[in-house]
């Protein structure tokens, strides 16, 4: 292995089991994440209504949608159909709750 491959090698120092556990554990949208997503959708709606870029970006920062998105990407990367279906289902729930909140 030459020196460039050693520098850019991301396989060393990666804990695959912990990564898998962390991603699969946080895929679900439940409990406080639902309320945080509702508040984020309300904040984004206010930002869109007032044409405030800063408020919209703030709503994106507090939105808990990253966990299902990360689950989808991880499951595609490791070719795990079960995790993919769970992540897509939770992403659909999160999107539905966000749209429902924005509608009201």
Q: What is the pLDDT of residues 62-92, one digit of tens each?
A: 888 888 888 999 999 999 999 999 999 999 9
pTM of the model: 0.73
pLDDT at 86: 93
Gap between the Cα atoms of 76 and 96, Å rounded: 23
Q: Which residues contact 23 (CB under 8 A, 6 or more apart)?
A: 70, 71, 74, 83
pLDDT band, very low/low/confident/very high, at 7 (cuts 50, 70, 90): confident
pLDDT band, very low/low/confident/very high, at 1 (cuts 50, 70, 90): low
Gap between the Cα atoms of 36 and 62, Å rounded: 7
pLDDT at 20: 87
């Amino acid at each position: 292995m030459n020196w460039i491959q050693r520098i850019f090698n991301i396989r060393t120092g990666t804990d695959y089991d912990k990564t898998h556990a962390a991603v699969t554990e946080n895929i679900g949208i439940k409990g406080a994440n639902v309320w945080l997503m509702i508040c984020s959708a309300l904040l984004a709606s206010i930002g869109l209504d007032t044409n405030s870029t800063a408020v919209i970006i703030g709503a994106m920062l507090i939105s808990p949608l990253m966990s299902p998105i990360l689950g989808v990407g991880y499951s595609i990367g490791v070719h795990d159909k079960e995790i993919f279906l769970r992540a897509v289902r939770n992403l659909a729930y999160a999107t539905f709750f966000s749209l429902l909140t924005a509608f009201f």
